[in-house]
Amino acid sequence: MNSKKIENAAAALRHARATRAAIGQVSSEYGIGSVDEAYAVAELNRQWKVGQGHRVTGKKIGLTSKAVQAQLGVDRPDFGFLFDDMEYLNGDVLPATRLIQPKVEAEIAFVVQHSLSGPKPSYGEFLSSLAYALPALEIVDSAIADWNITLADTVADNASSALYVLGDQPVAVAQLALQGLGMVMDRNGAMASTGVGAACLGHPLRAAYWLACEMMARGHGLQAGEIILSGALGPMVPVQAGDHVEARIQGLGTVQFRLD
């Protein structure tokens, strides 16, 4: 790989986030043409953020919903990292000043109970590593102007992740029939998005398993206590300062925030 173009793309994305000024596609402006190159860009920024004193608190899978793939013009999932300064809890007020062009999607979050590392885990090993599920809202936010992204652009931009909000009451994963759970998300009291567990790569646990396998393949494990955001259950919705968002996920309850 051309390390200089990867370093330049990583620096451009950091600057865009810091200044809240969207930039053009890094795929075209810096020649980030392959998914592996894009993940190399994201990895440089992961290392930079850890170097600034932040901790990885989890991982996310993106682009699991066919509706979201259609919205963005891509055709496969990707993944990114969650950090300590991205996490909020149910009912919190989120800072709009950290965001450029945010959208929100409702998801099922999993809590890792036992760490996984090494080779690709079996599905049984993966399932035994999980403890709880929670309702979650992910605020995605692209540093690329007008969300005019290719797969390489969103991968390089940490899967377009910005903030996430977790619900209050954890539920044991084994108690839930996740594939059939319905979701309704309201923005300012009006229904804005609906979906179901099956929209997430057919089953939220299969989506999370894809993520676990990708983590192992790229040298990153899953650590006890980390959050896995398993992907959108329905179409994402634009939000702006002053908006209140609430999602209701069958069997998991509600999760909400206000953007200010």
**Residue ranges covered by each domain of the chain:** 55-259
Could you tell me the pTM of the whole model? 0.94
For residues 4 and 29, what is the distance between their CA atoms, to the nearest angstrom? Answer: 13
Rounded CA-CA distance 189/256 in Å is 11
The rounded distance, in Å, linking the Cα atoms of 32 and 44 is 14
Is residue 221 exposed (0-12), middle (13-18) or buried (19+ Cβ within 10 Å)?
Answer: middle
Is residue 90 within 8 Å of residue 255, measured between CB atoms? yes
Distance CA 220, CA 81 (A): 10
Q: Can you give the pLDDT at residue 201?
A: 87
3-state secondary structure at position 63: coil
Q: Are the C-beta atoms of 164 and 62 separated by less than 8 Å? A: no
The two structure tokens encoding residue 210: 């894809």
CB 64 within 8 A of CB 105: no
Would you state the CATH architecture of domain 55-259? Alpha-Beta Complex (3.90)
Q: How far apart are the C-alpha atoms of 175 and 59, rounded to whole Å?
A: 23
- pLDDT tens by residue, the chain, 260 residues: 679 999 999 999 999 999 999 999 999 999 998 999 999 999 999 999 999 999 999 999 987 777 667 766 766 789 999 999 999 999 999 999 999 999 999 999 999 999 998 889 999 999 999 999 999 999 999 999 999 999 999 999 999 999 999 999 999 999 999 999 999 999 999 999 999 999 888 999 999 999 999 989 888 889 999 999 999 999 999 999 999 999 999 999 999 999 99
Q: Which of 75, 68, 134, 129 is nearest to 103 (CA)?
A: 68
* All residues at 6 or more sequence positions from 51 whose CB lies less than 8 Å from its CB, including other chains: none
pLDDT for res 142: 97
